Amino acid sequence: MKPDPAPETKFESADIDPKLLDTQISDFARDYQQLCRGVEQVIIGHHRIVEMTIVSMLAGGHVLLEGVPGLGKTLLVKTLARLLDLHMSRISFTPDLMPADIIGSHILLTDESGNRRLQFQPGPIFGNLILADEINRAAPKTQSALLEAMNEQTVTVGREQHRLPRPCFVLATQNPIEMEGTFPLPEAQLDRFMMKLCVTNLSGDDLMLVIAGVPDEMTPSPIFDPVRLSDMQALARHVLISPEVLASAASLLEATHGESPSASSRIKKYVRLGCSPRSGRHLLACARVVALAAGRTWVAKADVAALAAAVLAHRLLLSYEAIADGISSADLIDEIIETSRLK
């Protein structure tokens, strides 16, 4: 793939001082790399997982981590919370978990005068980094309690709406092989995750390092605070998207829908529901972060292509024929990219 030419214009925002732009970009790339290195001192052998999780957080999105137990999913979330100095809140999803256990509820209080009043008691969703552990073990009505929080950064209890602290990320884990006592995540829930990342087993030297154990002195200290994280997110939102890249991303989304004229015969056969417009916004938000991390103020087609599987694959609703034929969503996304305008 030939590299895209750099656009003539750069940032167009009153929030960005052109005189400081080069410094801001270099600082972003430096802090991004520093954060990746900090996580990889603890999380060994999962460079792609670490990188994509950080990209999602800088893009303001949530991540679904799928893998069997013992691969370091929970440790990854804890490490990010320490490095970013974020308040972490852990929710262990079980079949008997109720929505109020997540978002909170009103409790009856009695003051010194004997007067009673209702006061809202916030649930564990009121945190900066929410570890939704084994999210697919909770019933659908409990999973739905996260919908408003993940999309609008608010929760509604009765007639009151409560705003969540900023920043607020949900990093959820799920076990792909244990089906008894689990509930598949609804499509609306999956669509709110910016990325779904599959954590796989290690081998060779990486496996030896992991089973040897991480010494206590490797417990990370904060690299920067939430204010710096918010600054990096704000800078990424101003990265330029050229009309050509935007059109390519739109055509990619359109090709995932079987009713589209651009859909291939395999998409029409194997896909029941394609990607939503929200997925396109997530894809470009991540591409902006990747561009800045590479020291660019513009998004290349290669950025979009490299992120497509992680951002889009979990949003495809496959047909029964696809399951029977062993076809995965990631395979179909890769096929679309091979024939798309991103090549």
CA atoms within 13 A on the CB side of 27: 13
In the DSSP assignment, the letter for residue 91 is E
Report how far residue 65's alpha carbon sits from residue 77's, in angstroms, rounded to the nearest whole number: 10
CATH number 3.40.50.300 is the correct assignment for the domain at 16-95+127-210: yes
Residue 170: what pLDDT? 94
Cα dihedral: 83, 84, 89, 93 (round 10): -70
Residue 80: what pLDDT? 94
Contact 41, 215 (CB under 8 A): no
Q: How far apart are the first and last CA of the chain?
A: 6
Rounded to whole angstroms, what are the CA distances from 107 to 115, 122, 188, 190, 199? 14, 10, 30, 32, 40
Spans of all domains in the chain: 16-95+127-210, 239-343
Residue 175: what pLDDT? 84
Encoded tokens for 130: 């929410």
In the DSSP assignment, the letter for residue 223 is S
**Residues 197-211: tens digit of each pLDDT:** 999 888 888 888 888
Residue 204: what pLDDT? 84
**Residues 262-281: tens digit of each pLDDT:** 888 888 889 888 899 999 99
Residue 14: what pLDDT? 42
> Domain 239-343's class?
mainly alpha
The whole-angstrom distance between residue 59's C-alpha and the CA centroid of its chain comes to 8
Residue 8: what pLDDT? 44
* Positions of the chain with pLDDT lower than 70, given as ranges: 1-20, 178-181, 214-219, 341-343
